[in-house]
Amino acid sequence: MISLKETFMSSFSQIMGTQRILPIIQSDDIAAGVKAAGIMQETGLNVIEVVLRSPIALEMLREIKLQYPDMVVGAGTITHRQILEEALAVNADYIITPTISPGLLRDLEACPVPVLPGVSVMSDILQAVEFGYSELKLFPASLAGGAPFLQAVNAVFPNVKFCPTGGVSQENKATFLDLPNVFAAGGTWLAKKDTLIAGDWDAVRAACHAAQV
């Protein structure tokens, strides 16, 4: 059987496949982040994002890929060329940005892995479309209009699909996932920072299982 990692993927939705929840790991402790990733894989969540918001995030991404080579591990919070190059240097499988600019989009044009640009307003969406993107991240989803915003933009950009993150939770995920222009939704609720600090791995496991129901 050909694994996901052995198959050429040209888009972020292809990477996600049938997985509709994107777990996001944000941890100040490498071991805790690696442990959470292992639980995610154990529960059937093989595609995860590590946000690069701490000094150890790149090393944590590298370690997760070493410990769990069958997982697809992407880098989030890419905002400029240097961090993009650093993420690619640790073999990030895909790139996610929180926002866009003409400069960042130009830097991403030669990116060798799939990219999911972040948008929050209509002008962002149009700019991303002009650069050839049809799959985008809505961030922060809860503050950028949430599900009603996505419903409205579907009429204007019917060929654009979204993965909302930021304010997505177990309680409201279905509101997003039921929309025809949403192919996945992501968040940190599966492995909250305080849960990782407490080492409550049963809570992480339970959240991963619940997210897929």
pLDDT in tens, 147-181: 999 999 999 999 999 999 999 999 999 999 999 99
* Residues classed as catalytic: 49, 137
Q: What is the pLDDT of residue 10?
A: 73
CA gyration radius, the chain: 16
How far apart are the C-alpha atoms of 178 and 193, rounded to whole Å?
Answer: 28
Coil, strand or helix at 188:
coil
Domain ranges of the chain: 19-211
Residues 6+ away with beta carbon under 8 Å from 105: 117, 127, 128, 131
pLDDT in tens, 114-156: 999 999 999 999 999 999 999 999 999 999 999 999 999 999 9
The CATH number of 19-211, from 3.20.20.140, 3.30.460.80, 3.20.20.70, 3.40.470.10, is 3.20.20.70
Tokens standing for 201?
Answer: 């791995």
Checking phi first, is residue 46 left (phi over 0); if not, alpha (psi -120 to 50) or beta?
Answer: alpha
The per-residue pLDDT of the chain, averaged, comes to 95
